[in-house]
Structure 1
């Protein structure tokens, strides 16, 4: 996925609590539709522009370019990485983090705030590094500030690199005993991978769920991401890694959002369901199974836009937005 995919799926990032999603900052785009027409925001109309800013641009056309609002970033930012094991109160830290991270100010002044409001972390001045914003991006990508920032431009990939990912949204703090159970049953397995917690709140909570197709705004404390990476070839290695992700995802079901169990479209998950054809076009009813998990109440509006701009369903894939059936138009 390049920047175009990031933007068209919403684009959650480390500045989302301060500036919103990447898609919240899109000003214009150039799209080619199924009829070969080249359109910008004024000629495509606000409905299609709304749809591509978080609804997955590939369902509606080919997005050739984006115009994005620039935001101010400080000359220096503070980054840190603190590792705590289970014997070093990691579970207690996670339990408290759930309540603190989503309500911290949008401008995270970590020096004083973390010591004052999260003393259990035990952070010291030596843990912190002041770097430029670009260097901080390299830090989060490579876990060190010693890597030249030019490495961010390296687009080479490993052909033997595999990934399975899922996501969830947490609306109530998960109890400590649940984290204990998860740690023992899942995170200590040899095939265990990565469980990431990304805080919401801040500006994210002040934006309407219908402002863009990305609906996961108010009422969510944080997003859970389940990742498994592996390099081995063959189905045995793949099944072992994917079983871990799927098993932990199932285990977390009682503690995450419900009706629907909401997920983030940029972590595409074909386990949720795939499209089936109804005649020559994608079945709307079948697509609702996965579509409402990604987009909640915005899914029907996305299908209405699809009906308007691509009624013959030229742009389709396993989880593309379908047109509405004739009875629902």
Structure 2
């Protein structure tokens, strides 16, 4: 396969998944903002959304002063923000168009129609009443595109690069969504494990469409350890980090050429990452510190994505020193 075709499929898929993540992130912020607030409690929900989106350095005002309207506008409608919903669907369509002959008509139509519909929606005012409906639509359209890929594409290299893009982005986004909880401050240290702490974790699970999965899997009251187990270590969860790394490794096994030393070295590193995650426990995560562990995971995962692009001929060799 030509490297430019691999690049188009990979980035098309990443941008669709990123669009879905931004919608989930905003939904988490909206849900957390609606929780009861004690007098004097810090207004950290929207600041946490800015930080988790990776937009602290580019947000147009001080992230500490972020409010629902400014964050929503920046992450939904601002075309100068490469991670905004409008920028993501534009980039996904651009990449899909560049590899149109490598896609089925169903995948192309799903992306093209999503682009057209979201552009129309974004011409309207998104107030508190219809913001929730818009975010639901973004997530539904992302699922539709994923369904078109799953049901109509041959299981060949083209499908493999689409899947790699999806699972690299899914790993990054799940870690960032979990990290929102770190930045949403509780009024007092004594509130850890209390009612507000419980409600905050619940909203994170709901944004990940995993609240029902938690009840079915663990059959106990929601707690931080259970949430981390579900979204980090549970192989049955479609949003867990372990599931994402499993798919990344599996796709690389299929795509790697034994005659390419760069690809085989990458496969060995990803196998090592996956083995380490398989051996990990929630106790290990909390012993290091959830925020610290997630930060390192995000860095490592994005380095592996860059290494993957480099190994298959469409990268920029931009890997950090910690890889």
Q: TM-score range by the shorter chain?
A: under 0.3
Q: Which has the higher strand share?
A: 1
TM-score, structure 1 as length reference: 0.26
* Higher Cα Rg, which structure: 1
